[in-house]
Amino acid sequence: MKYLDKTITEIHELLKSKKIKPIDLVEEAYENIEKSDLNAYITLNKEEAIKKAKELENVEVDDNLLFGLPIAVKDNICTKGLLTTCASHMLDNFLPIYNATVVDKINAANMIIIGKTNMDEFAMGSSSRTSYFGAPHNPWNTDKISGGSSGGSASTIAARDVLFALGSDTGGSIRQPASYTGIVGMKPTYGRVSRYGLIAFASSLDQIGPMTKNVYENALLLNVISGHDKMDLTSIKEQDEDYTRLIGKNIKGMKIAIPNFFVSDIVDNEIINKIKKTAKTLEKMGAKVDYIDMKYLNHAVTLYQIIAMGEASSNLARFDGIRYGHSKENPKDIRDLYFGTRAEGFGKEVKRRIMVGSYLLSGKNAREYFYKALSIRDDMKQEFTNVFKKYDYIIGPTTTTTAYLLTDPMDDPRKSFMDDVLVIPVNMAGLPGLNMPIGFDKDHMPIGMQIIANSCEEAKIYQLASALEKELNLDLNPWGGKKDE
């Protein structure tokens, strides 16, 4: 079979001409998932997916290219009646009684939810190893991490199990795993995609975004999931647009900035070299590339630690064993219910962050840390605005290294933040940022590049990314045709 290896337009034509049915795609997806065996999913939605696929046989295939296509959804996005665990013992029995707005949109587009993907517990981590259900594996080398927190979504896309997945990105959680696994991942502008139904980690940073194997499919999925939502007050009110509209246009005359911080000694040489080489390629394609100094980038991790942990300590306070989720058996009293439930339900990374976050907001610390971080954050956003007065894009490596081993030590609580040092600034400023693969390291692990543009300029990002994608023409199938042998 292997229909899912074809291009999206080819699959659509097959569906339209009734040569295949959605059920063929669903069955193929489940076969793929089983064969790949990457622990990319926490819950498979087999029964419902098959039912939905059969229902779609009675629906006319319209011009929507995504009609009938399977999609994987990160397990921190609420799906009515389908387990939504956040990869936590706290929610391992949680059946939401409502759908996230993006899930309603996926359903309305007649896409089929294939399952819920593995992730770091409550999206806190950079390798998906904090998952209560064990870490997903990287299809390029199954001994290695697929990154995090959207590690399961990255892993299943990279493995070619399905074409589409949703991730969420608070401090790089879409782009960083996309980089480690050689796929395309977009964190849209803050407010572009409704957060209603996304289980909050840090509300001012969280954003849902598409993860796909190429740029065009990524833009198509963003078309489906974006749009103003009155259930989310932070949702952007811009008119709906077609994010594919600039794909195929050349990039002649585009001005691109590479902050020196992004190619400083915190980044592996091999990666810096690849970025510099790519910059040359872009110049050959007609763009102009400058290396610039940008203030505050080196402080983004500190701001992130304070803001993300502070907000998380409040967002995760609701998990108390009273209305839903894990609850301590036979609590002695209300105190025992709170302390016991949260001690049992949360994993250690989550506990650490909640404790530190509570501390950072307590008493006079709120002024000394939290409000100070918000002040610097404002200036940091201003710094980006200033750069975008002169440049169309900012680019740089997505990660400082390529994917590391699943067995690497996890004892330094700072490690997971440092993994995201290059991707966090984008969340701080609420900007759109995309990762795309630009090559491989000496062990043939993917290297990713991030493209950042000004607010609401996703289409422009796709323009550059697709032009470069075409130019580089990389072979991004990790199995290299071996899996079917």
Partner 1 sequence: MSNYIATIGVEVHVELKTKTKIFSNSKNGYGQMANSLTNVIDLGYPGTLPTLNEEVLNLAIKAATVLNCKIRPEIHFDRKNYFYPDNPKNYQITQFATPIGYDGYVEIEVDGEKKKVYIEEMHIEEDTCKSTHRGVKTLLDFNRAGVPLIEIVTKPCMTNSKEAKAYLEKLKELLFYSDISDCKMEEGSMRADANVSIRKKESDPFGTKAEIKNIGSISNVGVSIEKEIERQAKIYDKGETFKPQTRRYDDKLGDTVLMRVKETGNDYRYFPEPDIPFVIVTDERIKNVKKTIPMLPDERREKYLSLGVSEINTTKLIQNRNLSDYFNHLLEEKISHQTASNLLLGDISAYLNKTEKDITDTTLSKERFIELVNLVSNSTLTSKNLKEILEIILESKDSIQSIMKSQGIENITDDKEIREVIQKIISENPESVEDYKNGHDRAIKYLMGQVMKETKGKANPKMANDILKEELQ
Partner 2 sequence: MEKKLTKEEVLHVAELARIAVTDEEIKKYQVELKKLLDDVEKINEVEGYDDEILIAPWSNHTDLREDAEGEMLEPKQVLENAPRHSGNYIQVPVVIGESEGA
Q: Directed axis angle between helix 458-472 and helix 215-225, to 10°?
A: 160
| Rounded least distance, CB 370 to partner 2, Å | 10
Sheet holding 41-44, edge to edge: 41-44, 112-117, 70-74, 164-168, 208-212, 184-187, 433-440, 446-452, 393-397, 255-259, 288-292
**Per rule CB under 8 A, is residue 484 in the interface with partner 2?**
no
Active site residue 173: yes
3-class secondary-structure state, position 37: coil
**Per rule CB under 8 A, is residue 196 in the interface with partner 1?**
yes
Q: Closer to partner 2 at the Cβ: 338 or 479? A: 338
149, 150, 179, 327: the active-site residue: 149
What does the angle CA 291 – CA 294 – CA 296 come to, to the nearest 5 degrees? 150
CB 422 within 8 A of CB 450: yes
173, 194, 416, 466: the active-site residue: 173
The one of partner 1, partner 2, none whose footprint includes residue 60, by CB under 5 to 8 A per kind, is: none
Rounded to whole angstroms, the Cα distance separating 16 from 147 reads: 37
Piece of 47-55, 102-110, 358-366, 463-471 that binds partner 2 (CB under 8 A) = 358-366
**Per rule CB under 8 A, is residue 314 in the interface with partner 2?**
no
Rounded to whole angstroms, the Cα distance separating 261 from 277 reads: 17
Q: How far is CA 267 from CA 154, 195, 261, 353, in A?
A: 22, 32, 9, 26
**Per rule CB under 8 A, is residue 372 in the interface with partner 2?**
yes
Antiparallel, parallel or unpaired: β 137-138 and 208-212: unpaired
Residue 436 Cα to chain centre, angstroms: 12
Residue from 64, 107, 142, 204 that binds partner 1 (CB under 8 A)?
Answer: 204
**Per rule CB under 8 A, is residue 230 in the interface with partner 2?**
yes
| Rounded least distance, CB 320 to partner 1, Å | 6
CB 185 within 8 A of CB 104: no
Active site residue 264: no
**Per rule CB under 8 A, is residue 293 in the interface with partner 2?**
no
Rounded to whole angstroms, the Cα distance separating 177 from 120 reads: 11
**Per rule CB under 8 A, is residue 320 in the interface with partner 1?**
yes
The one of partner 1, partner 2, none whose footprint includes residue 189, by CB under 5 to 8 A per kind, is: partner 2
Antiparallel, parallel or unpaired: β 164-168 and 208-212: antiparallel
- Measured from the Cβ of residue 291, the count of other Cβ atoms closer than 10 Å reads 12
**Per rule CB under 8 A, is residue 275 in the interface with partner 1?**
no
Q: Closer to partner 1 at the Cβ: 191 or 397? A: 191
**Per rule CB under 8 A, is residue 392 in the interface with partner 1?**
no
Region 46-85 residues binding partner 1, contact defined as CB under 8 A: 77-78, 84
The one of partner 2, partner 1, none whose footprint includes residue 424, by CB under 5 to 8 A per kind, is: none
Region 198-217 residues binding partner 2, contact defined as CB under 8 A: 203-204
Q: Tell me which residues are annotated as active site.
A: 74, 149, 173
Q: Which residues bind partner 1 (CB under 8 A)?
A: 77-78, 84, 86, 91, 94, 96-98, 100, 195-200, 203-204, 230-234, 310-311, 313-314, 317-320, 322-324, 334, 338, 358, 361-363, 366, 370, 374
